[in-house]
Amino acid sequence: MSVNGLFSTFAPMPEHKLYIETYGCQMNVVDSEVVAAILQQYHYQLTEDINEADLVLVNTCSIRDNAEQRVKSRLRDFRKLKEQKRSVSIGVIGCMAERLKEKLLEDELIVDLVVGPDAYRKLPELLQKVESGQKGINTILSLKETYDDIQPVRMDRNHVTSFVSIMRGCNNFCAYCVVPGTRGRERSRDPETIVMEATELFSKGYREVTLLGQNVNSYHWNEGDSLLKFEKLLERVAHIHPSFRVRFATSHPKDMSDDLLKVISQYPNLCKSIHLPVQSGSTTVLQRMKRRYTREHYMERISAIRDYLPGASITTDIITGFCGESEEEHQQTLRLMEWAQYDFAYMFKYSERPETFAAEKLKDDVPETVKTRRLNEIIELQGKLSLESKKRDVGQTFKVLVEGTSKKSEEQLYGRTSQNKVVVFPKNDLKPGDYTDVTISACTSATLIGH
């Protein structure tokens, strides 16, 4: 399906050049591809050269203050661009657009267009306003929008791995998190359109898809009288082809069911890699975070993953220095990390976000120096765990999907194991999209090296 016909009320336009810069999560990457598809119908062609662009869009993230600061500094760069070429329009889209709304038009005089994550279909009309010298803004959130009829214009570089968005928004309201505010309520996408989009990727030569959602394992869809849950959808996608790998992100521990783990264990092409954000190893911190599970429940879910999926990798997200975090609560996070033996982790200092529960009701009282020290301890421990995880793979053979040429040498390729670990190995006659068995001979904390 396409967006043909949507713009029949608009006169045909001469060709314009669109440059998109994307910050934040993988969801934003797909959203940029959706935006490119919508604007392609309006005669905007993508360019990688910002200097030839007629429209520059920044797809933004609000998750931590430093993500927003990075975009603000980028907007200052764009001021110079606009001075050189007055005809260029600048748009802010995504989570910052939703959070800051008109403020972006007031503060940054150069911004012409502000569009929230659920309003991308309105881009063509908003651009008409901009073309007539006005500012364009739409930040209305929707209970239904999933862009399920829009085929994204793929912007990946390897043409082997891609993403399909299967649900949008979030209903969890974790105390620290801006996402329910910027992306609205949770809604799942029609499974038929998901399977169609994934099948199309496979037929174009892609060999891996990651199903995306802010809370992906709470996906559900009513089919007549029956409920299609995430594991059933996963099974349908797994059936597309045995050599089409499937991943998913991001899961919430409360929805990591045995049924889901059982399905993953039954299909070799469902990747044996689970990303399960813990955020904190302390039940009292988890309560203040409104995470809706305890340390014990989380540990029980990790044990279930190990039982159903022996050899699977487990990765996580951790926030350190959340409101009121004591030294003992911090130590509990370190001890949980050791216990879980995470293969990899994304680790962050707590950053207070306006209008969240924590910003309004809790005190951001862990001093910056303490947050930094705790983060360093967490990073150091994870460095050790990541290296141990890679060392366990030395001597073993893994089926690797080739993704491209290694950055360090033209003679080497890189790819990933089912466990999502990066492997570098000699080129031989292989090309991106091939599968090959690689025996691991050495490693660093980030990469496996094999032959």
Distance CA 43, CA 12 (A): 8
| Nearer residue to ligand SF4 within complex by CB, 165 or 313 | 165
137: tokens are 């803004």
Element (H, E) at 376: helix 368-391
- Contact region with ligand 5AD (CB under 6 A), list: 103-111, 186-194, 345-353, 366-374: 345-353
Q: Residue 40 CB, nearest distance to ligand 5AD (Å)?
A: 30
In terms of residues, how long is the chain? 451
CA distances to 36, 112, 298, 392, 441 from 294, rounded to whole Å, are 42, 46, 6, 29, 39
> Which listed option, ligand SF4, ligand 5AD, none, makes contact with residue 350 (CB within 5 to 8 Å by class)?
ligand 5AD
Residue 293 interacts with ligand 5AD (CB under 6 A): yes or no = no
- Residue 69's DSSP bridge partners are none
Distance CA 193, CA 200 (A): 10
Site string for ligand 5AD, 226-265 (x = CB under 6 A): ----------------------------------------
Residue 216 interacts with ligand SF4 (CB under 6 A): yes or no = no
Distance CA 76, CA 109 (A): 10
Is the Cβ–Cβ distance between 308 and 258 less than 8 Å?
A: yes
> Which listed option, ligand 5AD, ligand SF4, none, makes contact with residue 374 (CB within 5 to 8 Å by class)?
none
> Which listed option, ligand 5AD, ligand SF4, none, makes contact with residue 319 (CB within 5 to 8 Å by class)?
ligand 5AD
Distance of CA 203 to the CA centre of its chain: 24
Residue 63 interacts with ligand 5AD (CB under 6 A): yes or no = yes
Among 62, 139, 146, 273, binds ligand SF4 (CB under 6 A): 62
Angle at 421 between CA 264 and CA 383, to 5 degrees: 120
- Contact region with ligand SF4 (CB under 6 A), list: 153-161, 177-185, 204-212, 440-448: 177-185
Among 78, 248, 350, 398, binds ligand 5AD (CB under 6 A): 350
Point out the residue whose Cβ comes nearest to ligand 5AD: 317
Among 125, 190, 255, 317, binds ligand 5AD (CB under 6 A): 317
- Contact region with ligand 5AD (CB under 6 A), list: 195-203, 268-276, 348-356, 383-391: 348-356
Distance CA 18, CA 33 (A): 12
443: tokens are 């490693």
User: Under rule CB under 6 A, which residues in 153-182 are in contact with ligand 5AD?
Assistant: 176-177
Q: DSSP 3-state helix, strand, coil percentages of the chain (rounded to 5)?
A: 35, 25, 40
Q: Residue 280 CB, nearest distance to ligand 5AD (Å)?
A: 10
Distance CA 19, CA 14 (A): 17
Distance CA 189, CA 3 (A): 17
Element (H, E) at 416: strand 412-416
Residue whose C-alpha is closest to residue 354's, from 24, 64, 23 = 64
User: How do 44-46 and 16-22 pair as beta strands?
Assistant: parallel
> Which listed option, ligand 5AD, ligand SF4, none, makes contact with residue 176 (CB within 5 to 8 Å by class)?
ligand 5AD
Q: Residue 362 CB, nearest distance to ligand 5AD (Å)?
A: 12
Q: Which residues bind ligand 5AD (CB under 6 A)?
A: 63-64, 176-177, 277, 279, 317, 319, 348, 350-351, 353
Q: Which residues bind ligand SF4 (CB under 6 A)?
A: 24-25, 27-28, 61-63, 94-95, 178-179, 182-183
